[in-house]
Structure 1
Amino acid sequence: MTTRRSRLNFDVSPLQIHMTTSAPAMIGCGEHGERVSAVVCGHLLRGELAPAGFVENSSNPNDLQAWCSACEELYLGEGEMTEAFRRFNRMSIVCVDCYADAKVRHSSP
């Protein structure tokens, strides 16, 4: 698992959700109920057996953001959050419990 300073300000159209530290955005999760929201790449939501890697971009509990190793590699290659990166990343809003589940499932041992 890699942790770094937050470099992302997610603006997920058409939801227009902006993560902040003062008032966490909430989401109604079908499995966990009303929870603080988090953002992950779509690859972390797949039910694959092999871990995809888990790169955290913020450790602030009100602004949790993560993506997989493939997204990290593309981001580093692109140098910024390009349109190609956004299409590949497929950002998804999840609850903090789903985020924690993805972290456990996709973190390297």
Structure 2
Amino acid sequence: MADAALSISCGKHGSRVAAVVCCHHLANAGRPAGFVENSEDPSDLQAWCDTCEQVYLAQGGKTEEFRKFNNMTIVCDLCYIALKSHHSLR
């Protein structure tokens, strides 16, 4: 059962696979903030912005300070794809 994807009910897309993004992806709808994904497992839908990546590296991992700054938010997989498209720096 550990491999089963968690699902959520998205207000826009209905019942979908859950994904995780940092709060900055949702708060910063205008200017792209960067989109750093888990490169070790591309099927693991987790990402944060470039600023979160800088804090993560400075803190040496997922410290309490990092978690507060990141303030992860659960979204559906389709919202994740849309956020990735918007926030990926070209």
CA distance change for structure 1 residues 69 and 33 in 2, over 3 Å: closer, same or farther?
same
Give unpaired runs (5+ residues) of structure 1.
1-19
Match of residue 47, structure 2, among 62, 66, 70: 66
Query: Greater RCO between the two (CA within 8 Å, min separation 6)?
Result: 2
Partner of residue 78, structure 1? 59
Give unpaired runs (5+ residues) of structure 2.
none
For these two proteins, the number of residue pairs brought into alignment is: 87
Shift of 1:47: 4.3
| Matched ranges for 1:17-32 at <5 A | 20=2, 22-32=3-13
Alignment partners' CA distance in 2, 1:46 and 1:80: 23
| Matched ranges for 1:13-52 at <5 A | 20=2, 22-52=3-33
Alignment partners' CA distance in 2, 1:54 and 1:31: 22
Q: Specify the SS of the correspondent of 1:38.
A: strand
> Larger helix proportion, structure 1 or 2?
2
Identity of aligned residues (%): 54
Alignment partners' CA distance in 2, 1:47 and 1:79: 25
State TM-score, norm by structure 2. Answer: 0.91
Q: Which runs of 4+ in 1 moved over 4 A?
A: none
Give the RMSD, CA atoms, in angstroms.
Answer: 1.1
